[in-house]
Amino acid sequence: MTTPTATTELERQLRNARLELALTRQSYGDLLAAAYASVAAAETGDPEALLQLRDELSCHYFLPAPPATAQQTAPLAYGPALVPAFHQTGRSAA
């Protein structure tokens, strides 16, 4: 027979496992959607077809964030950068 404390611990572990599974499924779905979008962009001749996939992979720490471009590092005297800066997560601000 299990004690109430053991049951509570098992329930907590089960909730954590379910949460981890849900997060893993969401991440997989995001990566799959980015892969489909990249393939579709490549088929239409988009020169930056891998941009969405690279962005999603960098969010999951599979790739480093893309290097800053000349537009992203424009001096402040010229106003804000023309391209949205990447946040810590690697996603663009747009």
Model confidence at 69, in pLDDT bands (50, 70, 90)? low
| 57 or 23, greater pLDDT | 23
Q: Are 63 and 42 in contact (CB under 8 A)?
A: no
| Tokens coding 3 | 């004690």
CA R_g for the chain = 21
| Tokens coding 44 | 């239409």
**Every domain of the chain and the residues it spans:** 9-66
In the chain, the percentage of residues whose pLDDT exceeds 70 is: 62
> What is the chain's mean pLDDT, rounded?
75
Kindly report the pTM of this predicted structure. 0.56
